[in-house]
Amino acid sequence: MTQDFLQLIRERHSTRAFLPQPVERALVEKILNTARFAPSSTNMQPWEVLVLQGAAKTRLDQLLLGLFDAGEPGNPQLHAYLDEWVEPYKSRRFACGTGLYKTLGIDRSDKAARQAQSRRNFDAFGAPTALIFYQDGFLKPGSILDLGMFLQNVMLAAQALGLATCAEASLVAWPDQLKQAFALAPGKRLLTGLALGWPDPAAPVNTFRTARAEVHEFARFLE
């Protein structure tokens, strides 16, 4: 059982092509019912989730794709990780991007194909379910860490049930429009979205895997 769980963690990956088969609400509730046991400081449980399926998911797709196609600028502070990419993050990011496009057969010079692939982020890669993760905006950065642990539980629980996920900051790139469209309070902090569905086994993009740094590259052992 221990080995199964360790393997589950190693096999989780970002899926970017989904079958149209819906995810039953009972399955989503089972995932969230498991994920809620994530740790949080003083048991604050500083996470909220908006689950979008069916007509609501279609509304989300239309909203985000419309904003993307119109060239509307998103909130750069929401999902910008660095103002300037430096090592080792620059090389890792570059390898991720080039590897993904190579798997898709998209040449670096093919701007139209690259744009079309980027556009797929905004309908959650066709996943039938999208989740939006948010919390009260007045909370301190420690609560973002707590929500991150909850998010990881969601992804692992989904993996255990045979479902696939892709965490996507792209889904919350326009927080003000999302809050208005789905009646979220103005003071909420939208942190990320998540594509959820059944993976398409025939899609080449789902064979893509990113590399991971070895333990000696990020850990120091003192005795």
Q: Where are the domains of the chain?
A: 2-80+122-208
Written out in words, the top-level CATH class of the domain with range 2-80+122-208 is alpha beta
Q: What is the distance between the alpha carbons of residues 176 and 186, in angstroms, rounded to a whole number?
A: 8
CA angle centred on 210, ends 133 and 90, rounded to 5°: 85
Q: Based on the number of CB atoms within 10 Å of its own CB, is 104 exposed (0-12), middle (13-18) or buried (19 or more)?
A: middle
pTM, whole model, 2 decimals?
0.95
pLDDT of amino acid 73 = 84
pLDDT in tens, 104-153: 999 989 999 999 999 999 999 999 999 999 999 999 999 999 999 999 99
pLDDT tens digits, 31-70: 999 999 999 999 999 999 999 999 999 999 999 999 999 9
Backbone angles phi, psi at 199, to 5 degrees: -70, 145
pLDDT at residue 218 is higher than 80 = yes
Task: State how far the alpha carbon of 147 is from the alpha carbons of 44, 99, 214, in Å.
Answer: 10, 29, 26
What pLDDT, on a 0 to 100 scale, did the predictor assign at position 80? Answer: 64
Q: What is the pLDDT of residues 191-202, one digit of tens each?
A: 999 999 999 999
